[in-house]
Protein backbone atom coordinates (compact mmCIF):
# COMPACT_ATOMS: atom_id res chain seq x y z
CA UNK A 1 0.00 0.00 0.00
CA UNK A 2 1.48 3.31 -1.05
CA UNK A 3 1.76 6.14 1.43
CA UNK A 4 1.75 8.74 -1.36
CA UNK A 5 -1.02 11.22 -0.84
CA UNK A 6 -2.88 12.60 -3.82
CA UNK A 7 -3.29 16.34 -3.48
CA UNK A 8 -6.92 17.38 -3.45
CA UNK A 9 -8.29 18.98 -6.53
CA UNK A 10 -8.55 22.69 -6.22
CA UNK A 11 -11.95 24.25 -6.56
CA UNK A 12 -12.50 26.19 -9.80
CA UNK A 13 -12.20 29.93 -9.67
CA UNK A 14 -15.84 30.79 -10.15
CA UNK A 15 -15.06 34.51 -10.33
CA UNK A 16 -12.86 33.84 -13.33
CA UNK A 17 -15.56 31.66 -14.88
CA UNK A 18 -18.21 34.33 -14.41
CA UNK A 19 -16.03 37.29 -15.42
CA UNK A 20 -13.25 36.07 -17.71
CA UNK A 21 -12.71 39.60 -19.03
CA UNK A 22 -11.03 40.42 -15.71
CA UNK A 23 -8.37 37.83 -16.48
CA UNK A 24 -7.69 38.62 -20.10
CA UNK A 25 -4.30 40.10 -19.28
CA UNK A 26 -3.19 36.79 -17.79
CA UNK A 27 -3.67 34.90 -21.06
CA UNK A 28 -3.82 37.33 -23.99
CA UNK A 29 -3.64 34.59 -26.63
CA UNK A 30 -6.62 32.75 -25.13
CA UNK A 31 -8.52 36.01 -24.77
CA UNK A 32 -7.95 36.89 -28.42
CA UNK A 33 -8.91 33.44 -29.72
CA UNK A 34 -12.04 33.33 -27.56
CA UNK A 35 -13.07 36.81 -28.68
CA UNK A 36 -12.66 35.80 -32.33
CA UNK A 37 -14.65 32.62 -31.69
CA UNK A 38 -17.45 34.56 -30.00
CA UNK A 39 -17.51 37.15 -32.79
CA UNK A 40 -17.73 34.46 -35.46
CA UNK A 41 -20.51 32.66 -33.59
CA UNK A 42 -22.56 35.85 -33.19
CA UNK A 43 -21.93 36.78 -36.83
CA UNK A 44 -23.09 33.31 -37.91
CA UNK A 45 -26.28 33.87 -35.93
CA UNK A 46 -27.00 37.06 -37.89
CA UNK A 47 -26.39 35.35 -41.21
CA UNK A 48 -28.70 32.50 -40.20
CA UNK A 49 -31.39 35.09 -39.49
CA UNK A 50 -30.74 36.61 -42.92
CA UNK A 51 -30.96 33.19 -44.56
CA UNK A 52 -34.34 32.57 -42.95
CA UNK A 53 -35.61 36.03 -43.94
CA UNK A 54 -33.74 37.07 -47.11
CA UNK A 55 -36.31 39.67 -48.12
CA UNK A 56 -34.33 42.56 -46.62
CA UNK A 57 -31.20 41.65 -48.59
CA UNK A 58 -33.18 41.11 -51.81
CA UNK A 59 -34.91 44.46 -51.39
CA UNK A 60 -31.56 46.11 -50.72
CA UNK A 61 -30.29 44.76 -54.04
CA UNK A 62 -33.38 45.17 -56.21
CA UNK A 63 -34.11 48.77 -55.19
CA UNK A 64 -30.75 50.30 -56.24
CA UNK A 65 -30.83 48.36 -59.51
CA UNK A 66 -34.26 49.87 -60.17
CA UNK A 67 -32.77 53.30 -59.45
CA UNK A 68 -30.11 52.68 -62.06
CA UNK A 69 -32.64 51.60 -64.66
CA UNK A 70 -35.34 54.21 -64.03
CA UNK A 71 -33.19 57.27 -63.30
CA UNK A 72 -30.83 56.35 -66.12
CA UNK A 73 -33.76 56.23 -68.54
CA UNK A 74 -35.30 59.41 -67.11
CA UNK A 75 -32.22 61.54 -67.82
CA UNK A 76 -31.11 59.74 -70.96
CA UNK A 77 -31.90 62.77 -73.16
CA UNK A 78 -30.50 65.41 -70.79
CA UNK A 79 -28.36 68.15 -72.40
CA UNK A 80 -24.72 67.26 -72.92
CA UNK A 81 -22.31 68.59 -70.34
CA UNK A 82 -24.85 68.80 -67.54
CA UNK A 83 -23.28 65.79 -65.81
CA UNK A 84 -19.66 66.81 -66.19
CA UNK A 85 -17.29 64.73 -68.26
CA UNK A 86 -19.79 62.04 -69.21
CA UNK A 87 -22.93 62.04 -71.34
CA UNK A 88 -24.05 58.73 -69.83
CA UNK A 89 -26.21 59.47 -66.81
CA UNK A 90 -26.15 55.80 -65.85
CA UNK A 91 -22.38 56.09 -65.53
CA UNK A 92 -22.80 59.28 -63.51
CA UNK A 93 -25.50 57.75 -61.30
CA UNK A 94 -23.69 54.47 -60.59
CA UNK A 95 -21.34 56.04 -58.04
CA UNK A 96 -24.20 57.71 -56.20
CA UNK A 97 -26.25 54.51 -56.04
CA UNK A 98 -23.29 52.47 -54.78
CA UNK A 99 -22.54 54.92 -51.98
CA UNK A 100 -26.12 55.62 -50.99
CA UNK A 101 -26.95 51.90 -50.82
CA UNK A 102 -23.97 51.32 -48.53
CA UNK A 103 -24.99 54.32 -46.41
CA UNK A 104 -28.62 53.22 -46.08
CA UNK A 105 -27.67 49.65 -45.21
CA UNK A 106 -25.11 50.73 -42.61
CA UNK A 107 -27.61 53.13 -41.08
CA UNK A 108 -29.80 50.10 -40.28
CA UNK A 109 -26.96 48.36 -38.42
CA UNK A 110 -28.38 49.22 -35.03
CA UNK A 111 -31.77 47.61 -35.62
CA UNK A 112 -30.73 43.98 -34.87
CA UNK A 113 -29.17 45.04 -31.58
CA UNK A 114 -32.19 47.19 -30.78
CA UNK A 115 -34.53 44.23 -31.34
CA UNK A 116 -32.23 42.03 -29.22
CA UNK A 117 -32.56 44.64 -26.47
CA UNK A 118 -36.33 44.68 -26.64
CA UNK A 119 -36.72 40.89 -26.77
CA UNK A 120 -34.26 40.32 -23.91
CA UNK A 121 -31.60 38.45 -25.88
CA UNK A 122 -29.03 41.23 -25.38
CA UNK A 123 -29.43 40.96 -21.61
CA UNK A 124 -28.66 37.25 -21.85
CA UNK A 125 -25.48 38.03 -23.77
CA UNK A 126 -24.45 40.67 -21.24
CA UNK A 127 -24.68 38.21 -18.35
CA UNK A 128 -23.06 35.36 -20.30
CA UNK A 129 -19.38 34.53 -19.58
CA UNK A 130 -18.07 36.16 -22.75
CA UNK A 131 -14.37 36.85 -23.10
CA UNK A 132 -15.29 40.28 -24.47
CA UNK A 133 -18.72 41.82 -24.75
CA UNK A 134 -17.41 43.92 -27.60
CA UNK A 135 -17.77 40.78 -29.73
CA UNK A 136 -21.47 41.72 -29.89
CA UNK A 137 -20.54 44.98 -31.63
CA UNK A 138 -17.87 43.36 -33.82
CA UNK A 139 -20.37 40.78 -35.09
CA UNK A 140 -22.93 43.41 -36.05
CA UNK A 141 -20.30 45.49 -37.84
CA UNK A 142 -18.98 42.48 -39.80
CA UNK A 143 -22.52 41.47 -40.78
CA UNK A 144 -23.56 44.91 -42.03
CA UNK A 145 -20.29 45.69 -43.84
CA UNK A 146 -20.44 42.30 -45.59
CA UNK A 147 -23.93 43.11 -46.83
CA UNK A 148 -22.80 46.54 -48.02
CA UNK A 149 -19.92 45.06 -50.01
CA UNK A 150 -22.20 42.43 -51.54
CA UNK A 151 -24.74 45.08 -52.57
CA UNK A 152 -21.97 47.26 -54.01
CA UNK A 153 -20.68 44.32 -56.08
CA UNK A 154 -24.15 43.67 -57.52
CA UNK A 155 -24.63 47.37 -58.35
CA UNK A 156 -21.25 47.56 -60.09
CA UNK A 157 -22.18 44.52 -62.15
CA UNK A 158 -25.62 45.90 -62.98
CA UNK A 159 -24.16 49.28 -63.96
CA UNK A 160 -21.66 47.57 -66.25
CA UNK A 161 -24.49 45.59 -67.85
CA UNK A 162 -26.44 48.81 -68.41
CA UNK A 163 -23.52 50.45 -70.20
CA UNK A 164 -21.77 52.37 -67.43
CA UNK A 165 -18.53 50.47 -67.94
CA UNK A 166 -16.29 48.78 -65.41
CA UNK A 167 -13.22 50.21 -63.63
CA UNK A 168 -9.96 48.27 -63.71
CA UNK A 169 -8.83 45.94 -60.93
CA UNK A 170 -7.19 48.76 -58.97
CA UNK A 171 -10.34 50.82 -59.39
CA UNK A 172 -12.55 48.00 -58.11
CA UNK A 173 -10.26 47.54 -55.12
CA UNK A 174 -10.48 51.27 -54.40
CA UNK A 175 -14.28 51.16 -54.61
CA UNK A 176 -14.22 48.31 -52.08
CA UNK A 177 -12.02 50.37 -49.76
CA UNK A 178 -14.29 53.42 -50.07
CA UNK A 179 -17.46 51.43 -49.39
CA UNK A 180 -15.82 49.67 -46.45
CA UNK A 181 -14.64 52.93 -44.86
CA UNK A 182 -17.98 54.69 -45.26
CA UNK A 183 -19.96 51.68 -44.04
CA UNK A 184 -17.66 51.34 -41.03
CA UNK A 185 -18.23 54.94 -39.95
CA UNK A 186 -22.00 54.89 -40.46
CA UNK A 187 -22.29 51.47 -38.80
CA UNK A 188 -20.49 52.83 -35.75
CA UNK A 189 -22.92 55.74 -35.49
CA UNK A 190 -25.92 53.44 -35.89
CA UNK A 191 -24.66 51.06 -33.20
CA UNK A 192 -24.09 54.01 -30.91
CA UNK A 193 -27.67 55.11 -31.45
CA UNK A 194 -28.88 51.55 -30.76
CA UNK A 195 -27.35 51.70 -27.29
CA UNK A 196 -28.55 55.26 -26.67
CA UNK A 197 -32.14 55.54 -27.95
CA UNK A 198 -34.96 54.01 -25.88
CA UNK A 199 -36.49 51.80 -28.60
CA UNK A 200 -36.61 50.79 -32.25
CA UNK A 201 -39.35 53.33 -33.04
CA UNK A 202 -36.97 56.17 -32.25
CA UNK A 203 -34.14 54.56 -34.22
CA UNK A 204 -36.35 54.04 -37.27
CA UNK A 205 -37.46 57.67 -36.99
CA UNK A 206 -33.83 58.82 -37.04
CA UNK A 207 -33.19 56.63 -40.09
CA UNK A 208 -36.20 57.99 -41.98
CA UNK A 209 -35.44 61.61 -41.11
CA UNK A 210 -31.76 61.45 -42.09
CA UNK A 211 -31.81 59.23 -45.19
CA UNK A 212 -33.34 61.50 -47.86
CA UNK A 213 -31.65 64.74 -46.69
CA UNK A 214 -28.28 63.00 -46.82
CA UNK A 215 -29.07 61.79 -50.35
CA UNK A 216 -30.23 65.10 -51.81
CA UNK A 217 -27.58 67.11 -49.96
CA UNK A 218 -24.83 65.15 -51.71
CA UNK A 219 -23.58 64.79 -55.27
CA UNK A 220 -25.35 61.46 -55.75
CA UNK A 221 -27.99 62.69 -58.23
CA UNK A 222 -26.53 65.94 -59.58
CA UNK A 223 -23.08 67.54 -59.86
CA UNK A 224 -21.95 70.14 -57.38
CA UNK A 225 -22.02 72.96 -59.94
CA UNK A 226 -25.69 72.24 -60.65
CA UNK A 227 -26.71 73.11 -57.06
CA UNK A 228 -27.51 76.49 -55.50
CA UNK A 229 -24.76 78.01 -53.38
CA UNK A 230 -26.27 77.10 -50.01
CA UNK A 231 -26.72 73.47 -51.05
CA UNK A 232 -23.16 73.34 -52.36
CA UNK A 233 -21.94 74.28 -48.90
CA UNK A 234 -23.93 71.44 -47.32
CA UNK A 235 -22.84 68.95 -49.98
CA UNK A 236 -19.16 69.71 -49.41
CA UNK A 237 -19.43 68.81 -45.71
CA UNK A 238 -21.50 65.69 -46.42
CA UNK A 239 -19.27 62.58 -46.12
CA UNK A 240 -21.29 60.89 -48.87
CA UNK A 241 -19.93 63.38 -51.41
CA UNK A 242 -16.37 62.38 -50.50
CA UNK A 243 -17.23 58.75 -51.23
CA UNK A 244 -19.23 59.44 -54.40
CA UNK A 245 -16.79 61.70 -56.24
CA UNK A 246 -13.76 59.35 -56.12
CA UNK A 247 -15.88 56.44 -57.36
CA UNK A 248 -17.35 58.63 -60.09
CA UNK A 249 -13.85 59.67 -61.12
CA UNK A 250 -12.89 56.00 -61.43
CA UNK A 251 -15.76 55.49 -63.87
CA UNK A 252 -14.85 58.45 -66.07
CA UNK A 253 -11.03 58.38 -65.91
CA UNK A 254 -8.73 55.43 -66.47
CA UNK A 255 -5.55 57.37 -65.59
CA UNK A 256 -6.45 58.32 -62.02
CA UNK A 257 -4.06 58.82 -59.12
CA UNK A 258 -4.18 60.17 -55.58
CA UNK A 259 -3.44 63.72 -56.78
CA UNK A 260 -6.34 63.77 -59.25
CA UNK A 261 -8.91 66.48 -58.55
CA UNK A 262 -12.27 64.82 -57.98
CA UNK A 263 -14.33 67.75 -56.65
CA UNK A 264 -14.13 71.53 -56.95
CA UNK A 265 -15.82 73.07 -53.94
CA UNK A 266 -16.33 76.69 -52.97
CA UNK A 267 -13.37 76.50 -50.58
CA UNK A 268 -10.93 74.72 -52.88
CA UNK A 269 -10.16 71.63 -54.90
CA UNK A 270 -10.43 68.17 -53.37
CA UNK A 271 -7.99 65.52 -54.57
CA UNK A 272 -8.60 61.79 -54.75
CA UNK A 273 -6.32 61.18 -51.78
CA UNK A 274 -7.86 64.08 -49.87
CA UNK A 275 -11.33 62.57 -50.26
CA UNK A 276 -10.05 59.24 -48.94
CA UNK A 277 -8.51 60.99 -45.93
CA UNK A 278 -11.85 62.67 -45.19
CA UNK A 279 -13.57 59.28 -45.21
CA UNK A 280 -10.93 57.76 -42.94
CA UNK A 281 -11.27 60.73 -40.60
CA UNK A 282 -15.05 60.39 -40.58
CA UNK A 283 -14.82 56.69 -39.68
CA UNK A 284 -12.24 57.40 -36.97
CA UNK A 285 -14.35 60.16 -35.40
CA UNK A 286 -17.43 57.92 -35.48
CA UNK A 287 -15.59 55.03 -33.81
CA UNK A 288 -14.08 57.26 -31.13
CA UNK A 289 -17.36 59.06 -30.41
CA UNK A 290 -19.25 55.85 -29.56
CA UNK A 291 -16.55 54.43 -27.28
CA UNK A 292 -17.82 56.02 -24.03
CA UNK A 293 -21.34 54.79 -24.63
CA UNK A 294 -20.24 51.28 -25.55
CA UNK A 295 -17.95 51.02 -22.54
CA UNK A 296 -20.74 52.19 -20.23
CA UNK A 297 -23.22 49.69 -21.67
CA UNK A 298 -20.93 46.70 -22.17
CA UNK A 299 -18.74 47.04 -19.09
Is the per-residue pLDDT at 139 higher than 70?
yes
Helices H / strands E in the chain, number of each: 12, 2
pLDDT at 283 over 90: yes
Average pLDDT over residues 29-58: 85
53 burial (CB, 10 Å; 0-12 / 13-18 / 19+) is exposed
- What is the phi/psi pair of residue 81, to 5°? 90, -10
Average pLDDT, the chain: 82
Q: Residue 195 above 60 pLDDT?
A: yes
Confidence of residue 87 (pLDDT cuts 50, 70, 90): low
Exposed / middle / buried, residue 178 (Cβ in 10 Å: 0-12, 13-18, 19+): buried
| pLDDT of amino acid 280 | 95
Q: What does the buried/exposed string (b/e) look like for 132-152 if buried means 16 or more CB atoms within 10 Å of the residue's CB?
A: bbbbbbbbbbbbbbebbbebb
pLDDT score at 81: 62
Give the single-character DSSP code of 64.
H
pLDDT above 60 (res 161): yes
What integer pLDDT is reported at residue 56 of this predicted model? 80
Instruction: Find the Cα–Cα–Cα–Cα dihedral 255, 259, 262, 267, rounded to 10°.
Output: -160
First and final CA of the chain: distance in angstroms?
54
- Mean pLDDT within 111-115: 87
Whether 187 has a pLDDT exceeding 70, the answer reads yes
Q: Given this model, what pLDDT does residue 253 score?
A: 83
- The percentage of the chain sitting over the pLDDT mark of 70, rounded to a whole number, equals 86
Helix axes 110-119, 135-161, angle to 10 degrees: 140
pLDDT of residue 71: 79
Say what the pLDDT of residue 247 is.
93
Average pLDDT over residues 77-89: 66
Average pLDDT over residues 36-42: 88
Q: What's the predicted TM-score (pTM) here?
A: 0.83
CA 194, CA 114: separation in Å to the nearest integer?
Answer: 5
Instruction: Please tell me the predicted confidence (pLDDT) of residue 121.
Output: 81
Least confident of 162-166, 200-204, 271-275, 285-289: 162-166
User: What was the pLDDT predicted at 178?
Assistant: 95
What's the CA gap between 289 and 192, in Å, rounded? 8
Nearest to 91 by CA among 103, 107, 112, 75: 75
Identify the pLDDT of residue 14.
41
* pLDDT above 90 for 58: no
Single out the residue of 192, 175, 186, 220 nearest to residue 105, CA to CA. Answer: 186
Amino acid sequence: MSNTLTPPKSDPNWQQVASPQLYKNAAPSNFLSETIQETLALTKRLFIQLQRRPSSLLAGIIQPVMWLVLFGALFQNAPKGIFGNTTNYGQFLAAGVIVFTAFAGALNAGLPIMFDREFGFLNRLLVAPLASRFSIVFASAIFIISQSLLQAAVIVGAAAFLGAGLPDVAGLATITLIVFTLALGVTALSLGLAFTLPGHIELIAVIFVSTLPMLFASTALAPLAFMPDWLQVIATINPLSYAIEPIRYLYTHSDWNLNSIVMRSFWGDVSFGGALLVLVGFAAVALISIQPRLRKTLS
